[in-house]
Structure 1
Amino acid sequence: MFCDHDDILLCDRCSLLNRIQIFDRIFQLLNAKANDFAGLNELCQSISPLLERYEFHFHICQYFNYFQHRSDPIANQYLNSYCPQKYQEYVAIELSDNCGRHDFYECIMGLFEYADPNLKIELRVRNYMELILNYLKYSADLLASQTLPEFLVDALHDKGQIASIWDFIGMASTLNIRIRSIYPFINGVRDERANKFNTAFRPRNDDNNNENEILVLWTNNLKLKECQMPWIPNTVVPLLKKHKSSIEVCFS
């Protein structure tokens, strides 16, 4: 359970915690059981009703807004030179400075309008719980190089990669929107990793009628001439179309 009282979801003391503290506490509980997948599943089942108390409304940007976004010149060079031409109607977005390197969740937050920096922990919690609670529906995915339990050990101990296939798989269902992964063909058209990661991830309960999607580009914070070959990405950034609009998403 969330606290030491096994018979209730939240005791009086825990009920005083704010939203940020609630999700931080859940993350700590998940972290403590990172090496015990059965324990993680049991924990997630017991605290999943808690997430229903925190309905989450936000907007996902679809179009580049010159007043809100900055273009990432290096990422755009990779996008325009080594990705299919159809993506040239998009702009790679520069995220807040972190030596030019960002993980998957910072990338997703870059698509939100007015995202609170503290949202990252909540997104991670929601995504990990989605994967754990629906493990049997995801376990047959052949794209992932790690099993889900292996991924969670690394992710919950903050030893994971900038982005994993599991992050994409879960987040599509967590946000209930298709996520398209775009990987530049810098190492040639036969690059196994590029062919593997150029794909779209659909929500678990997708009915194929919702064509909204968000795009994530694998890139590097260094120019190509400064990178060792074969080229590998060290960050991910969001892509936006070159017009202004947004779509609203809600999950609980």
Structure 2
Amino acid sequence: MAATQGNPIIFYDVVDAQGGSWSSNTYKTRLTLNYKRIPYRVKYIPLCDIEPTLKELDVPPVFPNFPHYTLPMIADPSGEPDGKPTYVADSFKIAIYLDDKYPSPQYPFIIPPGARAIQHMWFTTYYPPLSALIVQLFYHLAPRIIDERSAEYWYRTRGDKYKPPSEEERVQRWGELREKFEALGKSLSFNDGTSEAGPFMMGERLSFIDFTLGGFFYFIQRVEGKESESLKEMMEWQGGRWGAFWKGIQDVESRSAQLA
């Protein structure tokens, strides 16, 4: 049974102090649900309550190392009247599950047929170094936008690892980040001037890789604010290539399949 407006998918997201979203990881799944037009409702969970919530639902640990329990997670409703939902955690696994359970043409593929290996290679090989730089530059800002209990939990469990970088470290990491985005942009430029030209990794065609990159921009905007100078600078890199990319991602966010 597919999710419906009367019986939608439940999407578990990490909440900020104002009752909204902020996580780059959960943003990937939000975009996936929107793009596939699958109806969903959001259940917001404070950072400090993720582990007890997932344990209460009998969801196994997502990762072998800390943090063992993370979001995003979805609960896909059962076709049986009293059946339990199917819980799926981890944004890449969720994307694969949704493509299998909600296939094209009714629901567009987020990972095109034959591209799972390439997308997985990106997610496990090329994405982590980018993510590490984003974390080193911006993750220390997260406590200022989350609730007090979660901020205390963050400092207790992550504070020693994610300290603000020194100015020298910040300049160095920022330069490294720009170099990586410039390398990505050069790869994207192979689509320029062709029938497949577009702002995304596959030209006009969106895929999960684009959502992983969009998550970075979203996270920076959330922790630094809408007037983020870092984000403004990134949008101007390579003649505005990443500005066009981010606009395309925001269009997916705005075409929400979320139910009130």
Taking structure 2 as the reference length, the TM-score comes to 0.23
- Larger RCO: 1 or 2 (CA < 8 Å, sep 6+): 1
- More strand, by proportion: 1
- More helix, by proportion: 2
Taking structure 1 as the reference length, the TM-score comes to 0.24
